[in-house]
C-alpha cells in the first residue's frame, strides 16, 4: 500500500499562506497585508487585502506615507482585516482570522464585533504603539485570543508552469 506524502503543509501554514498570497494583490508600495478568515470546520469564509475602496482609483488617490493627512494613503486605505470581514459570506462567530500583521485598533474593533474569537499573526512590527496597545486591551477584555506564528523556516514556492501541475 502506498503511504501518504509527508511534506504536506498544516492548517496554520495553509491559511496563513492564503493570507500572504492575498497580500500579493495589494498595491501599497510599502506594506502589503492579507487576511483569511476560517470557521471551526476549517472552511475559509472570507479573504481580503489592503487597498482603496471601490471607485477610489489608485490613479487619483495617493500611496504616500508622509505629508498633509489628505495627501497620504491613511484616510483612504481599507485594511485587509476590514475587507476580509466585509467580503465574508457567513456569520463570523467563533471564527479565526489569519493576518500577516497584528491588527490596528480600528480592525480590532471590527474583529471583536464580528464575533471572531482568535487572531493569528506573523508580524507585530507596531508593538508598543498606542494603536497596538489599544488592540491588545480590547482583545484581552473581550476574550479574543491572539497568537504569533513562527513559520520563518518555511518558504513555499508556487509554480504556474503547466508541466509542474
Ligand X SMILES: O=c1[nH]c(=O)n([C@H]2C[C@H](O)[C@@H](COP(=O)(O)O)O2)cc1CO
Of 8-16, 29-37, 39-47, 52-60: span binding ligand X (CB under 6 A): 29-37
Which is catalytic among the residues 81, 153, 157, 162? 81
Half-sphere exposure of 69 (CA within 13 A, CB side): 1
Instruction: Using alpha carbons, list the distances in angstroms from residue 101 to 67, 90, 124, 125.
Output: 24, 23, 6, 7
**Taking CB under 6 A as the rule, does residue 36 contact ligand X?**
no
Q: Which of 16, 19, 33, 97 binds ligand X (CB under 6 A)?
A: 33
Q: Which of 15, 44, 52, 79 binds ligand X (CB under 6 A)?
A: 79
Question: Rounded to 10 degrees, what is the CA torsion of 81, 82, 84, 88?
Answer: 140
Alpha-carbon gap, residue 73 to 43, rounded angstroms: 33
Residue 56, annotated as binding a ligand: no
Query: Environment class of residue 103 by beta-carbon count within 10 Å: exposed (0-12), middle (13-18) or buried (19+)?
Result: buried
Of 71-79, 89-97, 143-151, 156-164: span binding ligand X (CB under 6 A): 71-79
Please identify, using beta-carbon distances, which residue of 73 and 117 lies nearer to ligand X: 73
To the query of whether residue 68 is one of the catalytic residues in this protein, the response is no
Q: Which residues bind Zn ion (CB under 5 A)?
A: 79, 104, 107
Amino acid at each position: 500500500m502506498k503511504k501518504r506524502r509527508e511534506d504536506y503543509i498544516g492548517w496554520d501554514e495553509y491559511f496563513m499562506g492564503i493570507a500572504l498570497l492575498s497580500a500579493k494583490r495589494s498595491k501599497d508600495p510599502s506594506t502589503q497585508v492579507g487576511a483569511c478568515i476560517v470557521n471551526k470546520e476549517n472552511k475559509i469564509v472570507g479573504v481580503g487585502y489592503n487597498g482603496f475602496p471601490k471607485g477610489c482609483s489608485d490613479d487619483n488617490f495617493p500611496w504616500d506615507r508622509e505629508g498633509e493627512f489628505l495627501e497620504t494613503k491613511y484616510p483612504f486605505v481599507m485594511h485587509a482585516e476590514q475587507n476580509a470581514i466585509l467580503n465574508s459570506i457567513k456569520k463570523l462567530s467563533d471564527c479565526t482570522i489569519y493576518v500577516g500583521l497584528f491588527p490596528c485598533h480600528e480592525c480590532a474593533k471590527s474583529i471583536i464585533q464580528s464575533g471572531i474569537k482568535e487572531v493569528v499573526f506573523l508580524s507585530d512590527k507596531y508593538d508598543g504603539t498606542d494603536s497596538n496597545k489599544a488592540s491588545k486591551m480590547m482583545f484581552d477584555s473581550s476574550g479574543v485570543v491572539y497568537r504569533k506564528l513562527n513559520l520563518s523556516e518555511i518558504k513555499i514556492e508556487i509554480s504556474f508552469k503547466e508541466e509542474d501541475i
